[in-house]
Amino acid sequence: MSKTICRQAACLVAGAVFAAGVARGADTPVKFLGANSCASSSCHGGGGANQNQFLVWSLKDFHSQRPPATLATARAKQIADALGIKDPVADARCSVCHAPLHEVPENLRGDDFKISEGVSCESCHGPAENWLRAHTRHDWTRADRAAAGMRDLQNLYVRANTCVACHQNVDADILAAGHPELIFELDGQSMAEPKHWSAEKNGSGAQAWLVGQAVALREMEWQISREPKADKKLIARRDAMVWLLLTVTGVDSSYQLGSLLDARQDGPIIQQWADNFARAAAKNWKEENSRRALIWLSLTSASFQNVSSEVAARRAERLVLALDRLVAALPDLKQNEPVQSQLNQLFKLAQSIPDFDSAKFAGALADFSSTLTRTNPPVTAN
């Protein structure tokens, strides 16, 4: 169920219920059983490295305690007051992302279900009633688990769709009330999260980054289409993302960029383009793809000239994150001191939208590109 159709975390919950019910031909949606159903010492609550997933989530992961707790802070109250929301803890506009289980209907709550769990196991993996007992069976494939309603998070397209709803879009009036602007970046945000999954299931970091960016673009365009008044900041961020993805493909974006942005007046063309891009990027990836994307992006200093400061700043905002994840995916560059030093300089130059200096950033990017060409093995576009 696409977050383009239904972006909020409540729809993540509803979509999981719907998909699980349909997959098994059920007449009624399946239940959420609560995180405690995963917490026995013989399952995911044990001390071993392969059985400690519940402990990692409950003790170390900010998804466990931080999201609902944030709604009780003074800042949340201030934002709520500006929006005319009486209680952010109970209001769906806030709880939908900070306490998504709050949206699960009473009849779909198991005996151990607790809405206070924050973003818990079933928020990401799907309601557990149909797959809890069988998902560890050795004769079950990924397809079997998915058919039972367990979300296949090894699939990067599925993973990006699971996270993007609450990590990218914030309604314009909520932003205006003081909510921080969000930037979805699947790889970097996954790396920052305490791991309760095995490394071999994480996939390529560069590939995760690219899939996540395409899904984020789809969501931006969807949000633009539904806002009653065009949000200039959101449009600038959307345009920067289109520029980034077209650059990654190695295509001269000057004509295609204008065509894509004009086409949205006739329908959700950018949404479909971005979704197709994400699906394709999730299927195959090689190290050479990371190198090629890195060199093409590093050669874009001219894209920061003869454009407005806002356009350039938004491009830089996305570009530095892209360069960071691509460099991190290449072992010979990850520990390269000159590359890392110049990348840090690019981050500093891009950190303030109002104070962004296009000329300085373009110069630093050209220096970064020159450094890449001197690395061993060389980074080439061929």
Q: Of the segments 43-57, 107-121, 280-294, 335-349, which one has the largest average pLDDT value?
A: 335-349
Selection from 378, 296, 272, 284 nearest residue 330 by Cα: 378
Name the pLDDT band for 278 (thresholds 50, 70, 90): very high
Average pLDDT for the chain = 85
- What confidence score (pLDDT) does residue 19 get? 42
- What confidence score (pLDDT) does residue 252 get? 53
Name the pLDDT band for 163 (thresholds 50, 70, 90): very high
User: Residue 104 corresponds to which tokens in the numbers above?
Assistant: 């699960």
- What confidence score (pLDDT) does residue 265 get? 53
- What confidence score (pLDDT) does residue 379 get? 54
What's the rounded Cα separation, in Å, for the pair 338 and 302? 22
- What confidence score (pLDDT) does residue 317 get? 96
- Is residue 8 over pLDDT 50? no
Q: Which residues, at least 6 apart from 50, have a Cβ–Cβ distance to it below 8 Å?
A: 198
What average pLDDT does this structure show over 34-62? Answer: 87
Give the DSSP H/E element, type plus range, for residue 79: helix 74-83
Selection from 336, 325, 344, 327 nearest residue 376 by Cα: 336
> Could you tell me which residue, 209 or 225, shows the higher pLDDT?
209
What's the rounded Cα separation, in Å, for the pair 87 and 105? 20
Provide the whole-model pTM: 0.87
What's the rounded Cα separation, in Å, for the pair 316 and 124? 31
User: Residue 242 corresponds to which tokens in the numbers above?
Assistant: 């289109």
Strand, helix or coil at 32? strand
Q: Could you tell me the CA-to-CA distances from 177 to 67, 78, 87, 100, 354 in Å, in that order? A: 18, 8, 15, 21, 19
Name the pLDDT band for 277 (thresholds 50, 70, 90): very high
Helix ranges (DSSP H) in 168-227? 172-176, 186-192, 205-226
Question: For the chain, what is the total number of helices (H) and then of strands (E)?
Answer: 19, 0
Residue 86's φ and ψ, nearest 5 degrees, are -70, -50
Q: Which residues pair with 32 in a beta bridge?
A: 109
Residue 213: how many other CB atoms lie within 10 Å: 27
- What confidence score (pLDDT) does residue 13 get? 43
> Could you tell me which residue, 304 or 6, shows the higher pLDDT?
304
